């Protein structure tokens, strides 16, 4: 297996087991046929169901590779990960729905996944071998694209703690606003050493390209549908404003609450306060306006997930009813508000809670020792 680097070509020599049908020409063709069949299955799914798309891809990858467990691992906006789909052996503990902190997959690793989109570890317990390099080379060889690159010791221990000996990691890449984005990973785990021949790995990479394209279309469709709904509501509200007074956008349907996902909304117009849903009282809204004029007088609006974090001194008096706020200034005296309540949400995190008495020497990274769920 060859790939080019700045100083030459890296050649990885993998053992070719003659009894493995995937290594024959017919076997390689069959691997591609299986991938094409899996892609056809993805493309035949009804639109608008990303969960079904993810469930189908884990079933397909498990069918192709034979791993004990295959998961779709999605990265959220804050970069923590969640297992959103899983296909596994019945006797294995489920990981579906578990969340993992962003630190479990460091930024350096995420960058490498965009460069080398298929990563196989045959046996995490195997002893690594030293790379002997020509003395005339001034820099260490770059092995980012090598299929035989040994895993970091921390990651090998992470796998062992998980009860996994072998793994296959496939990057799920989609088009971002200005560059490609790592949306998540499809990860296969096996409880014993397992080597997937190159033709099968190539077929999996082919499948991931199709999955990424399909996922990208679904995400764009969801975004377009949301924009279409908002534009339709905006048009109706503008018509109402042209026909009636500004108060119609809070007193008729649709209202400004239909523009934004919120728990409450309000209009402050000509010194009068019109509230919808969960909103502050008249006195509280006047205090918020005074704070806006004092601290944000040069802006045409403000949006915050937490009024307390934004520095509003009266946030505590609002309680859990009003936490986040978006405001648009119509004029120097008139305002549109949207409010969100404080949301308490239970999330299942993977791994044991850190005990205050647990310490390390600070000299190296330590992987998690548990993958059991906790809230």
Identify the CATH number of the domain in which residue 149 sits.
3.30.450.40
Helical packing angle, 50-65 and 25-43, nearest 10°: 170
Name the residue range of residue 294's domain: 247-340
Clarify whether residues 172 and 316 are in a common domain.
no
Query: Does residue 33 lie within any of the structural domains?
Result: yes
Six-digit token string for 150: 């040994």
List the chain residues with pLDDT less than 50: 352-366, 369-370, 373-375
Query: Does residue 183 lie within any of the structural domains?
Result: yes
Query: Does residue 265 lie within any of the structural domains?
Result: yes
Clarify whether residues 164 and 46 are in a common domain.
yes
Q: How far apart are the first and last CA of the chain?
A: 45
Clarify whether residues 168 and 294 are in a common domain.
no
Report the domain count for the chain.
Answer: 2
Q: How confident is the model at residue 77, as a pLDDT?
A: 87
Clarify whether residues 172 and 281 are in a common domain.
no
Clarify whether residues 194 and 279 are in a common domain.
no
Buried b (16+ CB within 10 A) or exposed e, 359-374: eeeeeeeebbeebebe
Clarify whether residues 270 and 332 are in a common domain.
yes
Strand duo 81-88 + 99-100: pairing: antiparallel
Clarify whether residues 39 and 172 are in a common domain.
yes
Q: How confident is the model at residue 205, as a pLDDT?
A: 93
Query: Does residue 63 lie within any of the structural domains?
Result: yes
Query: Does residue 228 lie within any of the structural domains?
Result: no
Query: Does residue 352 lie within any of the structural domains?
Result: no
Rounded CA separation 285/261 (Å) = 20
- CB neighbourhood size of 312 (10 A): 20
Helical packing angle, 25-43 and 198-243, nearest 10°: 20
Clarify whether residues 211 and 289 are in a common domain.
no
Helical packing angle, 50-65 and 198-243, nearest 10°: 180
pTM score? 0.73
Clarify whether residues 214 and 254 are in a common domain.
no
Q: How confident is the model at residue 313, as a pLDDT?
A: 92
Clarify whether residues 181 and 275 are in a common domain.
no
């Amino acid at each position: 297996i060859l790939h080019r680097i700045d100083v030459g070509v890296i050649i990885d020599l993998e053992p070719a087991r003659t009894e493995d049908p995937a290594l024959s020409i017919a076997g390689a063709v069959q691997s591609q046929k299986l991938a094409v069949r899996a892609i056809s299955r993805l493309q035949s799914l009804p639109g608008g169901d990303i969960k079904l798309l993810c469930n189908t891809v884990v079933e397909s990858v498990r069918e192709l590779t034979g791993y004990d467990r295959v998961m779709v691992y999605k990265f959220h906006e804050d970069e923590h990960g969640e297992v959103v789909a899983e296909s596994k052996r019945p006797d294995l503990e489920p990981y579906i729905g578990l969340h993992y902190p962003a630190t479990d997959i460091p930024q350096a690793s995420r960058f490498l996944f965009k460069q080398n989109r298929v990563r196989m570890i045959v046996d995490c317990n195997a002893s690594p071998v030293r790379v002997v390099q020509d003395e005339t080379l001034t820099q260490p060889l770059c092995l980012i694209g090598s299929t035989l690159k040994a895993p970091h010791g921390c990651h090998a221990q992470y796998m062992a703690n998980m009860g996994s000996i072998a793994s296959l990691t496939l990057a799920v890449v989609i088009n971002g606003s200005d560059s490609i984005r790592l949306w998540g990973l499809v990860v296969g785990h096996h409880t014993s050493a397992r080597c997937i021949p190159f033709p099968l790995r190539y077929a999996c990479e082919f499948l991931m390209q199709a999955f990424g394209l399909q996922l990208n279309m679904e995400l764009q469709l969801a975004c377009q549908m949301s924009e279409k709904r908002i534009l339709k509501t905006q048009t109706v509200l503008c018509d109402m404003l042209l026909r009636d007074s500004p108060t119609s956008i809070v007193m008729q349907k649709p209202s400004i609450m239909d523009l934004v996902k919120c728990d409450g909304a309000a209009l402050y117009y000509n010194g009068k306060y019109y509230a919808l849903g969960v909103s502050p009282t008249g006195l509280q809204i006047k205090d918020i306006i005074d704070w806006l004029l004092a601290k944000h007088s040069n802006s045409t609006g403000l949006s915050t997930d937490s009024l307390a974090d934004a520095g509003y001194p009266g946030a505590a008096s609002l309680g859990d009813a009003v936490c986040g706020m978006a405001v648009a200034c119509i004029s120097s005296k008139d305002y549109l508000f949207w409010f969100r309540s404080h949301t308490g949400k239970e999330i299942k995190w993977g791994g044991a809670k850190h005990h205050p008495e647990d310490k390390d020497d600070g000299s190296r990274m330590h992987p998690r020792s548990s993958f059991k769920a906790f809230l």
